[in-house]
A = this chain, B = another copy of it.
Amino acid sequence: MTFRAAALRLYLVTDRGLAGDRPLGEIVLAAVAGGVTMVQIREKQATTRRFIEQARALKAALDGSGVPLIVNDRLDVALAVGADGVHLGDDDMSCAEARRLLGPRAIIGLSLAGPPGDGFAEADYVAASPVFATGTKPDAGPALGLAGVTALRRAVPRPLVAIGGIGRHNAAQVVAAGADGIAVVSAVMAADDPEAAARQLRAAMDGRP
C-alpha cells in the first residue's frame, strides 16, 4: 500500500443535486484548481449507464492532474472507467472482496461510524462519518463529533479523512482532532465559486486567515 495521507487533505465528494445545471466536470476542475486533492463520485439515483457516463467524463477531466478519482460503492463503475479506486460503507461490498477484485494497486476507502471491527484490513484509508450532522446524507448515523475523530485516529492505523457537516468554520478543529484531511460535499458542490471555496477550505485547514 503506497497510498499517501496527503491525498486526503481536501477530498471532494460529488452530488449531482447540488451541481444544478453545471456539469460535474466543470465544478470538479475548478475545485481542483482551488486545492482539492482527491475526488469521489457518488451517485445514488443514477442508472448504471448514466453513472458510468458521469464517471468517465470526470476521469477524462482529471486525466493528468494527479488527482485520484474514487467511485462510491460501485466497483462495476470503477472497473468500467478505470477509476483509481472505490469508497465503501456498511451497505457496500466488503473491503476484502473489493481488494480481491480490484488488485493491490487500487485505492480502497472505508467509512467508519465508530470503533472499527476488523473490516479495515484491506482499506488504504478510512473516513470518520459523519463527524457532524449533515443534510447531504440524511441516512447517515449519529454524529461522531471531534472526540470520535480522535478515537478513530488512535484506533485505526490508516490515513484518516473526516466527513459530515465540515466547512471553513470547523475545518481546522477537525484536523486538530487528528484527521489527515476533510471530505466535503456541499461546501464545494453548492458554492457559486467552487475554486474559491476549495481555496478557502485549504487556508482554513492550514490556519491561514
Spell out A's residues near B (CB within 8 Å).
47-50, 52, 73-76, 79-80, 90-94, 97, 101
Contact = CB atoms under 8 A, between A and B. Distances in A.
B80 A97 contact: yes
For the complex formed by this chain, how many copies does it contain in all? 2
A48 B47 CA distance: 14
Given A76-B75, A76-B76, A52 B97 contact: yes
A139 to B, nearest CB: 11
A65 B17 CA distance: 46
Contacts of A93: 48-49, 52, 76, 80
Given A75-B76, A76-B74, A76-B75, A48 B101 contact: no
Contacts of A49: 90-94
A80 B101 contact: yes
Nearest to A71: B76
